[in-house]
Amino acid sequence: MRTGQEMKELTIEELKEVELNILKDVAKFCEINKIQYFLCGGTLLGAIRHKGFIPWDDDIDIAMPRADYERFFKLYNGSNLRYRADSLENNSNWHMSFGRVGDLNTVLYEHTLKNKYKKYHAFIDIFPVDGLPNNTIKKKLLLLTQKFLGIIGNSSAFSYTPSKHFSDSKENNIELKNKIRTYVKYILITLCKGLNTQKIFSLVNSISKRYKIDTSDIIGLTVYVWNWKFEILNKSSIHSYVELPFEDTYFLGPKGYAEYLENTFSVTLAKKSEYTSSSDGSSDSSGSQSQDQGNSQDNSQGQDNGQSQPRQYYEYDGNGSDGYSGNGGNSGSDSYDSLEDFFRQFQQ
């Protein structure tokens, strides 16, 4: 990662600061334009467990209901000339099933991707939220379909670079496993190199959009299969939001974040204290409010009715059983240090 005209290499802490500033701008834009978003993945877990980045994690993930997601990528570009939003909705050459907002003052080279995709910027990931079928068999079929298409789409965008997936693992026979994974990766790249990446991921999104949030009981991030399962929560969980501290700022999380984290990471959460939420889908105060201004949360006002509504929130209980391993690699199960690490499993 490099930034500025002098192309100075960023440290991890500098990268986190760049990403946090992107998130602040996105949150402010969403607040002004009444676009719903919420922290998700490792970012949501970090907000609960560390009130910021997970120490070994250096990416930021947020999600938006599909209608808000499409509206965001239609409107955002031009609002701040430092940042640019890219997705299949506004970039015909985009190579992912979800979108990103990048800092144009930085350059990021992802050498595991083809030359036409490898140069981008420091970024945050933005995922669309869609409905899921209520039928168990249909839900499983959707999972397998999206997983298969995700592998094919990723393979069509990758370059021939050796896999280092197990390099930080404590497993045995790391070198052999990396070689086997490299051979499998090269075979997939060879088979898929002539395929159109954009058409594959457009199909992924089209399939997800078949299931509307309004007609579904369960919703989730279905364009992206993490750890062989969808990140899901009850639809009622996004009817209102709570403000969660992340580094020096408060951002929005879904009302049902305890359920989401348990479903996604098997986190055990203990009832702890109170945040505030509003039932109209907005927070009780600015999603980009600094902690110094936001510590007195009980005094915050609802944007529409002027009343804060206290609700109990949940905090990580510290037992370590969250599906995230802090050892820097897999521990023999399908656990990853971040969603980005999981996504890179087919890149490495």
What's the pLDDT tens digit per position in 318-348?
333 333 333 333 333 333 344 444 334 433 4
Phi-psi region of 8 (alpha: psi -120 to 50; beta: other; left: phi over 0): beta
E strand spans, the chain: 2-3, 8-9, 38-39, 61-65, 83-86, 99-103, 106-109, 119-120, 123-131, 218-226, 229-234, 241-246, 249-254, 269-278, 309-316
pLDDT tens digit sequence for 4-51: 556 789 999 999 999 999 999 999 999 999 999 999 999 999 999 999
pLDDT tier, 294 (very low <50, low <70, confident <90, very high otherwise)? very low
User: What's the rounded mean pLDDT across residues 238-254?
Assistant: 95
* Average confidence (pLDDT) over 288-302: 35
Residue type, 84: R
Average confidence (pLDDT) over 206-229: 94
The predicted pLDDT at position 339 comes to 42
pLDDT value, residue 271: 56
- Give residues with Cβ within 8 angstroms of 215, minimum separation 6: 131
Average of per-residue pLDDT values in the chain: 81
Percentage of residues of the chain with pLDDT beyond 70: 75
Q: Which two tokens stand for residue 341?
A: 């690490």
Q: Which pLDDT score, from 0 to 100, does residue 165 have?
A: 76
Tell me which of 250 and 299 has the higher pLDDT: 250
Return the pLDDT at 1.
54
34: left (phi over 0), alpha (psi -120 to 50) or beta: left
Q: How far, in Å, CA of 209 to CA of 199, rounded?
A: 15
Percent of all residues in the chain with a pLDDT value above 90, rounded to a whole number: 64
